[in-house]
């Protein structure tokens, strides 16, 4: 029987690997057998003590007292409503624009200006308010 050099090499390599695998397995790939350290990291008292801040930033970034927030929001709601009402009052009615072909042969009357009479404005505003309900 003739033994080839390659066979000797294979045999040697195989035995070395066979020897090393369990050893490597234990050291390199196995999980550590060490238990978790019993040392517990305790944060300082200053870190864990709950801190209650007396001030708060509410909408728009205002720094205010926490106790003032509810009342402030109420005042703001009133102010907002007032401003909306003012806007509604100031806004004149826009005439509805319709695109019509320009016909020079048919002269049209100039558009009438919306009435600036106070009572008309008041009635229109009341009408609008009624529409909301």
Partner 1 sequence: MEPVKTFDADVIIIGTSIATQTVMLPLLKTNSRILVLEGGDYELTPFGNNLTFSDERGHYINHHWGGHWLRQYGGASRVWNGYSAPLENWDLIGIDGRPKWPLGIDEIEKYYRISAPVMGEDPSVANLTKYNIAQEFVDRPYIIMDPALAYADAKPLLNNKNVELRVKHNVIKFTCDDSGSFINGIWYSVDGVVQFASVKKNTKIVLGAGGLGNAQILLQPAANRRVAVGNESGLVGKTLMAHPHIAVGEGFIDPIVVRKPTWAQVTYKKWLPAYIIGADYKTKLKLLNGSISLSISAVRPLSPNEEAVQDFYQKKWRKKLDLYTLYARTEQLPNIDNRIEIIADKNAAGLHKLKIYCVFGARDLMSLDTTTRMLSEHFLKNKLGVTTVDNDAIYLKPWGWAHPSGITRFGTSPKESVCDHTGRVWSYQNLYVNGSSLFPTVGYANPTWTIAALGMRLGEYLVIELKKGA
What is the three-class DSSP state of 22? helix
> Tokens 């919306």 identify what position?
114
Options 80, 89, 120, 123; binder of partner 1; rule CB under 8 A: 80
Among 8, 12, 24, 64, binds partner 1 (CB under 8 A): 64
In the complex with partner 1, which residue's Cβ is closer, 3 or 60? 60
For residue 111, give every residue at least 6 positions away whose Cβ sits within 8 Å of its Cβ, in sequence order, or none.
Answer: 95
List phi, psi (to 5°) of 24.
-65, -40
CB of 84 to partner 1, least distance (A): 9
Cβ–Cβ < 8 Å for 63, 99: no
If one counts every other C-beta atom within 10 angstroms of the C-beta of residue 5, the result is: 7
Binds partner 1 by CB under 8 A, chosen from 13, 15, 55, 120: 55
Choosing from 13, 65, 115, 120, the residue that interacts with partner 1 (CB under 8 A) is: 65
Interface with partner 1, residue 63, by CB under 8 A:
yes
Contact residues for partner 1, defined by CB under 8 A: 55, 57, 59-65, 68, 71-72, 75-76, 78-80, 82-83
């Amino acid at each position: 029987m003739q033994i080839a050099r390659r066979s000797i090499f294979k045999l040697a390599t195989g035995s070395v690997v066979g020897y090393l695998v369990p050893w490597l397995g234990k050291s390199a790939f196995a999980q550590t057998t060490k238990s978790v350290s019993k040392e517990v990291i305790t944060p300082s008292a200053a870190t864990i003590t709950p801190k209650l801040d007396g001030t708060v930033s509410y909408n728009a970034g205002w720094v205010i007292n926490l106790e003032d927030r509810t009342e402030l929001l109420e005042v703001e709601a009133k102010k907002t409503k007032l401003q909306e009402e003012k806007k509604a009052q100031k806004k004149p009615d826009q005439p509805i624009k319709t695109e019509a072909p320009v016909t020079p042969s048919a002269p049209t009357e100039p558009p009438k200006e919306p009435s600036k009479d106070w009572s008309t404005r008041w009635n229109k505003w009341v009408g609008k308010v009624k529409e909301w309900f």
